[in-house]
Amino acid sequence: MEARNRWNLGYWIVALAALLALQGLWQTTLRMDSVPYSEFERALAQGRIAEVVVSDRTVTGKLKFPDARGRTMLVATRVEPELAERLSRFGVPYARVYEPTLLRDLLSWVLPALVFVAVWFFLFRRFAERQGMGGFLSIGRSRAKVYVEQRTGVGFQDVAGVEEAKEELREIVEFLKDPRQYGRLGARIPKGVLLVGPPGTGKTLLAKAVAGEAGVPFFSISGSEFVEMFVGVGAARVRDLFEQARRMAPAIIFIDELDALGRARGAGHFGGHDEREQTLNQLLVEMDGFDASVGLVILAATNRPEVLDPALLRAGRFDRQVLVDRPDKAGRLAILRVHARKVKLAPDADLEQVAALTAGFAGADLANLVNEAALAATRRGADAVGLADFTRAIERIVAGLEKKNRVLNPRERETVAYHEMGHALVALALPGTDPVHKVSIIPRGIGALGYTIQRPTEDRYLMTREELENKIAVLLGGRAAEKLVFGHLSTGAADDLAKATDIARDMITRYGMDEELGYIAFEPQRPRFLDVPEMARGGCRVSEATQARIDEAIRRIVHRAFDRACAILQRNRQVLERSARTLLERETLEEEALRALVRDLQPEPTPACAPVAAAS
């Protein structure tokens, strides 16, 4: 669509240039040199003029041959009354033309000006529409798109993995189909339903499914489309949107990305009543003013409910909040089955196993996964999509694209091999950690020189302190292997150190997992209501002495986990050497091959040992 708009704009630019060229040629033609009538009469007497055209003010003679100055036409500035009588004596054909002065002036000046103004307004309107201004005549109109049942093309059968949310919204569908029957006992449907959840979980798809099931007009608009550069435009569009919806009721108004419009008033602003706040005020007024019994329901979606204005969330506006969360294993399996209808699966493509490998994936991630797997099967010339294609697609999404052209020197490859095997061996030696699915030293993504993939066996919603400490030890296993084998440290553990420190900090400041500091949360919840920097709200929330104790507790957790990782690798030094050499040869070790290499792996000794000296 964008390319076509640029192509059409290019056509208009070429047409404008051609019009300017024609006008210049026209003006050049009109500016022919005038000669005295005596010279014109001399040329006539000498027989150099082949044809004469007479108007009410001029006489033009077409020369038989160009004169010395290269002229082919002679225009006399004065015409005598007896001209026709004189011309007849020479036997030269002539014609009399009457030119209305007003028409000529209109064609030569007014008409080109009108053409230029029309072209200018057309181009300005096209530019305004592309910039979201919509033209001056429609600047206050709503830009919502209206869909009817057959155009949404989405029903509840197309939405999977969010069964609880679908059950909440079935009530809305029943009400829209028969508002009077549903309210016979005095109940009223919620005026507004807010869909809350992480990005990609299917909030917009769920809203379209509600409209498709109810068979009512569906007004879809983004919150950012209300706010414009002109003050009052957003409020006018809100009024126009609700007027359209009332005329077509029963109907659904769906506002996507509500946080762009409904952010808390005063958040991030220091005084002033801006256009966004006026638009929000108008939305609040409209939601209070309509009667839900007519069959008008407002759906909205956001992934940042903590920044919304409290007036939006009170009873009587968005009465009901529906959580659309990331799916569990059963939900992921249902979503994969929906998207797998469009591809041809091989007999070994076990979607249940794929669902187990994709913990934390949202609906959009799973749709992308199926597409990537189909592309992988197409690239290798297969007739169907197999489990290996899904595994390859998961690795591409999680770890990034393989960098086959990035060649590491032998020393770097050896360091990366020991680093990744350090992660894998510590994970295999500690209880309660996720099984290691794959280890590779093929560079992927932006900065990963190797990767270790762990596959969770089940969805987890709670973690104990011991499990978090084991996770930190696994993250530090790569750094421990480098120090144990080479006696030096590299930059390859930068991402591991950042993740380990974040987990340790959360254990102290958010989860209260330190006995000395007590069961106190020193840090507020991550999603803050006001989008204002921490220092603007008064700086650090604890004293300097407490902050020093927090830092010491974090350092103690990380160092203790590092010592545990060193002890495990020192105890299994031969296994580390053998598996690292095999990884250097094969570059990639799958789960089965890895378990065959570490059959004699010894678990963590108890109690945890002291720091291990680096070997030369």
- What's the topology of domain 2-101? 3.30.720
Q: Which helix (H) or strand (E) holds 481?
A: helix 477-486
With vertex at residue 433, the alpha carbon angle to CA 429 and CA 437, rounded to the nearest 5 degrees, is 90
DSSP state at residue 107: I
pLDDT at residue 16, rounded to an integer: 66
Domain 329-399 in CATH 3.40.50.720: no
| 469 belongs to the catalytic site | no
pLDDT recorded at residue 135: 47
Bridge partners of 308, per DSSP, are 263
Q: Where are the beta strands (DSSP E) in 177-240?
A: 192-196, 218-222
Please give the CATH architecture assigned to the domain spanning 410-597.
Up-down Bundle (1.20)
CA distances (Å), origin 363, targets 147, 202, 236, 332, 355: 23, 6, 36, 8, 12
C-alpha span between 579 and 485 (Å, rounded): 13
CATH architecture type of domain 145-323: 3-Layer(aba) Sandwich (3.40)
Q: Which of 225, 277, 286, 420 is catalytic?
A: 420
Q: Are strands 145-147 and 218-222 parallel, antiparallel or unpaired?
A: antiparallel
pTM for this prediction = 0.66
CA-atom Rg of the chain in angstroms:
39
How much is the pLDDT for 505?
92
Q: Report the SS3 class of residue 475.
A: helix
Provide the pLDDT for residue 562: 94
Percentages helix, strand, coil for the chain (3-state, rounded to 5) are 55, 10, 35
Q: Are 422 and 569 in contact (CB under 8 A)?
A: yes
Q: Collapsing DSSP states into helix, strand and coil, what is residue 580?
A: helix
177, 212 Cβ separation under 8 angstroms: no
Residues of the chain with pLDDT under 50: 1-7, 28, 30-31, 98, 131-140, 142, 148-150, 269-272, 528-539, 607-616
The predicted pLDDT at position 498 comes to 92
- SS3 assignment, position 338: helix
Domain boundaries defined on the chain: 2-101, 145-323, 329-399, 410-597
End-to-end CA distance of the chain: 64
